[in-house]
Amino acid sequence: MTKRSPFLYFKTSSEIIRLAVMMYVRFPLSLRNVEDLLDLRFIDVSHETIRFWWNRFGALFADEIGRKRVGQMQSYSNWRWHLDEVFEKIYGVQHYLWRAVDHEGEVLDSYVTKRRDRNAALKLLKKMMKSMGLRKSS
Q: DSSP labels for 82-124?
A: EEEEEEEEETTEEEEEEEEEETTS-EEEEEEESS-SHHHHHHH
Helix axes 14-26, 47-75, angle to 10 degrees: 80
The pLDDT of residue 51: 93
Q: Is the pLDDT of residue 66 over 50?
A: yes
CA distances from 105 to 52, 69, 110, 113 (A): 31, 14, 13, 22
Mean pLDDT of the residues in the chain: 80
Average pLDDT estimate for 92-108 = 80
Q: Which one has a higher pLDDT value, 21 or 80?
A: 21
Q: Is the pLDDT of residue 138 over 50?
A: no
Q: By percentage, how much of the chain surpasses pLDDT 70?
A: 85
Measured CA to CA, the distance from residue 122 to residue 66 in angstroms comes to: 23
Q: Where are the domains of the chain?
A: 14-75, 81-132
Q: Which one has a higher pLDDT value, 56 or 117?
A: 56
Average pLDDT estimate for 115-122 = 78
pTM equals 0.54
CB contact at 8 A, 14 and 5: yes
The pLDDT of residue 59: 85
pLDDT, tens only, 21-53? 888 888 888 999 999 999 999 999 999 999 999
